[in-house]
Each structure stands twice: as C-alpha cells, then as structure tokens.
Amino acid sequence: MKIALCILVRNERPCLEVMFPRIGEPGPEAGYDAIVAIDGGSTDGTVEYLRQRGVTVFGQSRRGRGEAFHIAFREVEADAYLFFSPDGNETPDDLPRFRTLLANGADLVIASRMMKGAVNEEDENFFKFRKWANNAFTLAANLGFRRSGPYITDTINGYRAITRQAVEVLKLDAVDYTIEYQMTIRCLKHGMRIVEFPTVEGPRIAGDTGAPAIPTGLRFLRCLGRELASPRRS
Ligand SMILES: Nc1nc2c(ncn2[C@@H]2O[C@H](COP(=O)(O)OP(=O)(O)OP(=O)(O)O)[C@@H](O)[C@H]2O)c(=O)[nH]1
Ligand SMILES: [Mg+2]
C-alpha cells in the first residue's frame, strides 16, 4: 500500500524548522512512502524550505484547507493519504501508526485528541471552549449519522489518513476547515470503517491560527446542516 504524506502549510516556516526534521525519511518504518506538500499561498519562505529538502510542493489557486485536500487527491497518486500539519499540534511520533491500521482494513484513521489516553491542547485550561465545541459537533455527527461501529470521539481532527477508495466514494466538496468534519460524516453515512487511536496534541509552535473560533464554528454548523439535509449516501 503506497501512503502519501501530505503536509499542509500556509506560512509555517518557523514551525517547519522544528517539525520537518522530526518527520524522518519515507519507508516502511516511517509509515509513509512519499512526501508532498500543499501550500496555501505562503510568503514566509515555507515553500523554499520544503523544496530545498526535495519535497514536491503543490500551490493552490484558491485558498482553503479543504482546497488543499482536493489538490492532494487530484495530483498525488497513492493508495492512501496521510495528512499532517506541521504547526506543532500533531506529533510525528504517531506517523507509523497509520499504516498498520490502514493495512488492517480501515477506510479512515483518525488520531483522536478526545479518547481515553489522549491529550487535548486545552486539557490544562479550566475553560475548554474549543474542546467543548469540538465535542458538541462530534456528538451531533454520531447521533445524526452513525449506523454501526464505535462512537467516534474526534470527528474533526486533521491528523488523519484516508484510502483512495474511500475518497472516490465520498465526493467531498468542502473547501475550508470543515473538510475533515464532512469527511468523517460521509464515512459514517456510508458505514465505512473508521478507526481512532489516542494522540497527544501539542501547542502551536509559532504564528497564528487561520481558523478564528466564531466564523469557523458557523461554517461547521452550516456543514452539519447540509449533511443532515442531504441523503444519507452521497
Ligand atoms: N495548504 C493549506 N494549508 C492550510 C491552509 N489553511 C491552513 N493551513 C494549514 O493547516 C494547518 C492547521 O491550520 P491552523 O490555522 O493551525 O488551524 P488550527 O490547527 O485549527 O489552529 P491552531 O490552534 O492555531 O493550531 C496548518 O499547518 C496550516 O498552515 C490553506 O489554505 N492551505
Ligand atoms: Mg493547528
């Protein structure tokens, strides 16, 4: 099974300098067989950093994290896509775990920040607004779309891998930060096999989020409404 590691970046140079050396080399031990990056219009030397290290970088004509997923699906030949954001939230230590779970038949593998044994960025805060909102959207997805199989604890996290076969069935069309939520919901709708493992979410290393809480939350609500209104199988 050929797994393509797809690094998603927009102005992440300082984070890449820390995270990229931790990704390792492609190969059976590393959990992926090729590395590409999709860039959402960086102006801080992110693209140059990656190209100097031999990474093929695809640019985007339209901004958006979902748009980056579609470029990966369109441009990269692979049996599965493993998405990685190098901003510090996701640990490269988990990269090898995806291959085993995909090889065992998972359609979608999610590194969960919410299940037993996992750590969420906000766990040390008293008010965990982002975690609570995430959990509310996750509850809605499970109640609205789960047909069988276990409760999915983190329907939103971007640290995930999906098979090419699943992508071809799901007909995803979200272009923004709702891409993962739409992907999980559609996998649930189709009764696909979703497997999670616990991960430890780290803090952002540098820079600012591109996903401000309120507009992003409203987009998630719209995404949920659209999925509820459309047939169970897209
Ligand atoms: N290719 C591409 N990557 C993007 C785009 N928008 C965001 N990203 C990347 O997606 C990853 C996650 O985005 P963030 O802005 O960190 O969103 P977040 O993880 O919800 O927010 P934080 O709490 O700041 O970590 C980062 O590596 C970004 O550089 C885009 O339009 N195109
Ligand atoms: Mg992040």
Adjacency order of strands within the sheet including 108-112: 56-59, 34-39, 3-9, 80-84, 160-163, 108-112, 194-198
Look up the domain containing 19 and give its range. Answer: 3-229
| Ligand 1 atom nearest to CA at 39 | 1
CA of 5 relative to ligand 2 center, distance in Å: 17
pLDDT in tens, 38-57: 999 999 999 999 999 999 99
Q: Which residue lies with its CA nearest to atom 16 of ligand 1?
A: 209
Q: Is 113 in the pocket of ligand 1 (CB under 6 A)?
A: no
Q: Is 12 in the pocket of ligand 1 (CB under 6 A)?
A: yes
Residue 190: give its domain's CATH number: 3.90.550.10
Q: Is 63 in the pocket of ligand 1 (CB under 6 A)?
A: yes
> Considering the domain boundaries, does residue 66 fall inside one?
yes
Most ligand 1 atoms within 8 A of CB, residue of 65, 137, 179 to mutate: 65
CA of 148 relative to ligand 1 center, distance in Å: 31
Q: Is the pLDDT of residue 211 over 80?
A: yes
pLDDT in tens, 61-98: 999 999 999 999 999 999 999 999 999 999 999 999 99
Residues with Cβ within 8 Å of 87's Cβ and at least 6 positions away in sequence, in order, are 12, 15, 19, 204, 205, 207
> Considering the domain boundaries, does residue 234 fall inside one?
no
CA of 111 relative to ligand 2 center, distance in Å: 14
Q: Is 176 in the pocket of ligand 1 (CB under 6 A)?
A: no
> Considering the domain boundaries, does residue 131 fall inside one?
yes
> Considering the domain boundaries, does residue 217 fall inside one?
yes
Query: In which band, very low, low, confident or very high, does the pLDDT at 233 lie, cut at 50, 70 and 90?
Result: low
Question: Which ligand sits closest to the CA of 178?
Answer: 1
Q: How many domains does the chain have?
A: 1
Place of tokens 């007909």: 171
Q: Is 146 in the pocket of ligand 1 (CB under 6 A)?
A: no
On whether the pTM is more than 0.95, the answer is: yes
CA of 101 relative to ligand 2 center, distance in Å: 24
Query: In which band, very low, low, confident or very high, does the pLDDT at 209 lie, cut at 50, 70 and 90?
Result: confident
> Considering the domain boundaries, does residue 124 fall inside one?
yes
Q: Is 102 in the pocket of ligand 1 (CB under 6 A)?
A: no
